[in-house]
């Protein structure tokens, strides 16, 4: 028998631990935020046995179903009813939900909502068996083994607005004008970024805040750190989703995520010239995706990630930096051993 292989996949929603044995997926664990086991580890070049499952997660993060054959999922020890529940649940497509009662009926047990919930509570393969798509009657979130924070992230990714324990469809009828993407490097997030997020959440029914990854750029914080800071900063917004993308033009990413608009900030005349040119190029690439420009208030108009990092490290920097970053970012800066004051670089773009 083959040994069990373990890998950590750093998704935009948090770290996901995968276990594979005999070329079958035997376990999926959605790691809690800040777990030491999830820090800094990621699936780099997966083995031949692990590759199909890492690939499936990458597809899911791009807005598609995982699409793994049932025979590749190990359900050893799972009873007949739970197997029927899991089989029916795998038929629920990306972006749709089902109630516990409906799922039980589909599995051949009308009135078995409680039993279905118990089966889902023992689901060994979340996401691959998408138990996050099961909700309570009336739109309540119900339960989730990894916690409701995780369930909310996954449902937002699939187009739902989650507010105070209930969900509603963010983009009914596929109206792209209700969804907007706000992208940047967020290295780290600043009060200027938060202004843009707050305004975007007011203007649109669904706001996707996405970390763009430039392989030619060196970042101060890891992708996992930046995603976690953004998740903490946006916890109070029911219609904000945190995501990341790589190897795509921003406008193509927005199109793929069902967004009708891109949100951009303009701080300076240099920003305006750059963003004006990009807006025209984006229109050539994707005519159906528009651009919304916002100018931050005067008191934060000059705040950028480079500005914040340039202040850190000097005597008394803690009090100087505090007004320019959200509280979760400030706490992260205080425990970091990195000193940025000696870093140099050119001017940042408007969405740094």
User: What gap in Å lies between CA 241 and CA 97, rounded to an integer?
Assistant: 18
C-alpha span between 122 and 140 (Å, rounded)? 20
Catalytic residues: 100, 123, 131-132, 158
Distance between CA atoms of residues 179 and 194, nearest Å = 18
């Amino acid at each position: 028998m083959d040994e069990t292989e373990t890998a950590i996949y750093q998704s935009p929603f948090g770290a996901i631990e995968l276990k594979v044995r005999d070329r079958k997926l035997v376990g999926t664990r959605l790691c809690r935020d800040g777990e030491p086991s999830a820090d800094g580890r990621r699936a780099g070049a997966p083995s031949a046995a692990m590759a199909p499952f890492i690939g499936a997660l990458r597809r899911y993060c791009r807005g598609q179903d995982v699409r793994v054959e049932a025979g590749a999922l190990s359900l050893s020890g799972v009873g007949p009813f739970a197997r029927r529940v899991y089989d029916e649940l795998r038929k629920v497509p990306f972006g749709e939900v089902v109630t516990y009662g409906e799922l039980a009926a589909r599995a051949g047990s009308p009135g078995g909502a409680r039993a279905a919930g118990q089966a889902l509570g023992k689901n060994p393969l979340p996401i691959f068996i998408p138990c996050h798509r099961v909700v309570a009657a009336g739109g309540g979130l119900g339960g989730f083994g990894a916690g409701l924070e995780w369930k909310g992230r996954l449902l937002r990714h699939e187009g739902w607005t989650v507010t105070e324990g209930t969900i509603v469809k963010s983009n009914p009828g596929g109206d792209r004008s209700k969804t907007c993407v706000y992208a940047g490097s967020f290295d780290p997030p600043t009060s200027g970024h938060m202004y843009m997020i707050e305004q975007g959440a007011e203007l649109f029914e669904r706001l996707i805040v996405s970390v763009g990854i430039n392989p030619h750029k060196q970042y101060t914080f890891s992708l996992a750190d930046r995603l976690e800071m953004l998740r903490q900063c946006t916890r109070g917004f029911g219609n904000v989703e945190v995501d990341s993308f790589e190897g795509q033009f921003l406008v193509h990413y927005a199109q793929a995520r069902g967004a009708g608009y891109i949100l951009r900030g303009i701080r300076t005349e240099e920003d305006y010239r750059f963003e004006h040119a990009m807006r025209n190029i984006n229109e050539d690439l994707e005519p159906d995706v528009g651009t919304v420009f916002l100018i931050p208030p005067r008191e934060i108009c000059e705040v950028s990630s480079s500005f914040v990092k340039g202040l850190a490290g000097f005597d008394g920097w803690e009090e100087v930096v505090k007004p320019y970053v959200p509280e979760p970012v400030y706490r992260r800066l205080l425990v970091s051993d990195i000193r940025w004051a000696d870093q140099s670089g050119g001017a940042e773009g408007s969405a740094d």
